[in-house]
Structure 1
Amino acid sequence: MGAALHLAHATELPTRKRKRKGGGGGGDGYDQLVARVYQDPRMTPEARELILLLAWLTARDPNRSDEQGNPRKWRKRASDILGEYGRPGGRRESRLADLLYADRPRYDFPPLSYNQPCAAPMIRREGLCGRPASDNDYEVDHDTGWKTPVYFCRRHEPWGGQLREQRRREPGPEPIPNAGGLVVSYLMSDGQEQAWARLYREAAEWKRDRQWEPPKGYGLRADDWPTPGQEQPSKEEEPFRLRLIASDGGLIAGAVQ
């Protein structure tokens, strides 16, 4: 997977000895977790791939234990499954780094669009300008920190400058994250945030992104982020998670709970 990325030094499967190989029964929570993954409307292909792989390695991999029932180290097994691929220049890329980096918790600015109309208000008539825009800035929601692109034409560049100056004077709060954080919603237990933040940061460095930092004030888990206009899910209805146990600063796969 590459020396630059260590799965929080995760090396072993559950410490509980198993007397036989084979998958567990439906009562271990694995089936419920898989169903939740596929039914989650927020799910991305990258998060789904990594969550299901770790769940399978923990609960269903027929080779997760040796002949004596001792847990096998699964890092090489996971790396073999995910694989690596080459880039021009000979650099080998880590699929695990790809999956983690794609799921890094963050706020994604809305994509800009072409052929947008100028949004400057007109003085001599009601309504907006509507001419083809030539530039853009953005407005900030002071409750969420989310940003909305605003477009303006050459004629209304002074209005766009006023908008930009107002934004600089009042930048708004730290934006609520709106992307990533799904893997930890299924895998992170309480007290493991630093370990997972280190994982995401190492993946970002592997992808040559040295700017990523954990979101301030909101945590890593998408399940914990407030969604404007929606109530937070009840903590009494805790969903099935793949519990990873912290050990010596690392993460060891545990059980589906």
Structure 2
Amino acid sequence: MGAALHLAHVQQTPVRKRKRKGGGSGGDGYDALVARVYQDQRMTPEARELILLLAWLAVRDPNRYDSDGNFINWRKRASAILDKDSPTRQSRLADLVYADRPRYEDKRDGWEQRTCAAPMIRRAGLCGQHAVGHDYTVDQETGWRTAVWYCRRHEPWGRDLRTQRLANPGPEPIPNAGGLVTSYLMTEGEGQEKSWARLYKEAAVWHYDPHWEPPKTYGVVADNWPVPGKDPVPQRARLRLVLGGQDLEDV
């Protein structure tokens, strides 16, 4: 597999070799990051686990330096924590990264209401009969989908919905899941964006999901995605993790 996560160090100024054994201090940003993670209502268990682990490895792990004060390769340290008791050749890191892949997921609006939504001609309102199939409509601003169900009597109406959708598929949907790890650990820059996108792609391939691709329009950082009806997430200082060339399958 291609390049994957390589945690070298948190970018600091000045950068110099240091020999130290203990953890960091509140000035390294770790304590503030932990507080933000637990206060973030968007947070998932997988993203929380990965963010806190990578940040801890970068600034608090007492075994992160060799005898010359250089950062030790993070891979063995992370693997010892994540995959210590794994009876098979698995990568918990790949699992966590894949769970945080930026993507659009259908909300449940309309998907569980299995009644026909065809409008009635002789009376006001919708059909309401038990549905046998469904298609969906697409919001032309957000690209988000809403399920529309139809009964056997209104199957032609359902086919018309599909024809209309195919003729006007709408824009790329605004992502609404994932992208939390990058919101905390990625600084601005085209190189960083490409590296994280490549990492997410490697995790997707590991999970036999070769069709996943990073959002072309919106990028891989959830903080940068518009949320209809809500104010943008304020920009915040982030810990910077360096990405490089280790394979997820080797973690």
Which bin holds the TM-score, normalised by the shorter protein?
0.7 to 0.9
Match of 1:108 in 2: 105
User: So what's the TM-score if we normalise by structure 1?
Assistant: 0.85
With over 3 angstroms needed to count, the CA separation of the structure-2 counterparts of 1:18 and 1:36, relative to structure 1, is same
Which residue type is aligned with residue 143 of structure 2? G
1:138 counterpart SS class? strand
Match of 2:51 in 1: 51
Once the two structures are superposed, residues 102-145 of structure 1 have per-residue CA deviations (whole angstroms, 9 ceiling, x without a partner) of 11111113357456211111111111111111111000000000
Distance across 2 between alignment mates of 1:18 and 1:153: 70
Matches within 5 A, 1:137-148: 137-148=135-146
Unpaired runs of 5+ residues, structure 1, are: 252-257
Match of 1:98 in 2: 95
With over 3 angstroms needed to count, the CA separation of the structure-2 counterparts of 1:86 and 1:19, relative to structure 1, is closer
Greater fraction strand: 1
Aligned-residue offset at 1:162: 1.0
Distance across 2 between alignment mates of 1:158 and 1:71: 65
Distance across 1 between alignment mates of 2:126 and 2:163: 21
With over 3 angstroms needed to count, the CA separation of the structure-2 counterparts of 1:219 and 1:54, relative to structure 1, is same
- Matched pairs, number: 238
* 1:193 has 2:193 as partner: yes
* 1:33 has 2:33 as partner: yes
Distance across 2 between alignment mates of 1:11 and 1:163: 48
Matches within 5 A, 1:181-220: 181-191=179-189, 192-220=192-220
Distance across 2 between alignment mates of 1:144 and 1:113: 18
Unpaired runs of 5+ residues, structure 2, are: 247-251
Distance across 2 between alignment mates of 1:179 and 1:210: 18
Matches within 5 A, 1:1-257: 4=1, 6-8=3-5, 10=6, 12-13=8-9, 16-83=16-83, 85=86, 92-110=89-107, 113-114=111-112, 116-191=114-189, 192-234=192-234, 238-245=235-242
Which residue type is aligned with residue 98 of structure 1? D
CA RMSD of superposed structures (Å): 2.1
Structure of higher RCO (CA pairs closer than 8 Å, 6+ residues apart): 2
CA contact (8 A) 2:9 2:242 kept: no
Distance across 1 between alignment mates of 2:43 and 2:66: 34
1:231 counterpart SS class? coil
Aligned-residue offset at 1:5: 6.4
Match of 1:254 in 2: none
CA contact (8 A) 2:131 2:152 kept: yes
2:135 counterpart SS class? strand
1:242 counterpart SS class? coil
Which residue type is aligned with residue 97 of structure 1? A
2:24 counterpart SS class? coil
Distance across 2 between alignment mates of 1:233 and 1:81: 32
Q: Percent identity?
A: 64
2:154 counterpart SS class? helix
1:244 counterpart SS class? coil
Aligned-residue offset at 1:86: 5.2
Instruction: Name segments (4+ residues, structure 1) moved above 3 Å.
Output: 4-8, 11-16, 84-87, 110-115
Once the two structures are superposed, residues 19-54 of structure 1 have per-residue CA deviations (whole angstroms, 9 ceiling, x without a partner) of 321122212211110011111111111111110001
Once the two structures are superposed, residues 135-184 of structure 1 have per-residue CA deviations (whole angstroms, 9 ceiling, x without a partner) of 11000000000000111111111111111111111111111111111111
Distance across 2 between alignment mates of 1:76 and 1:83: 10
Distance across 1 between alignment mates of 2:51 and 2:20: 25
Distance across 2 between alignment mates of 1:183 and 1:50: 7
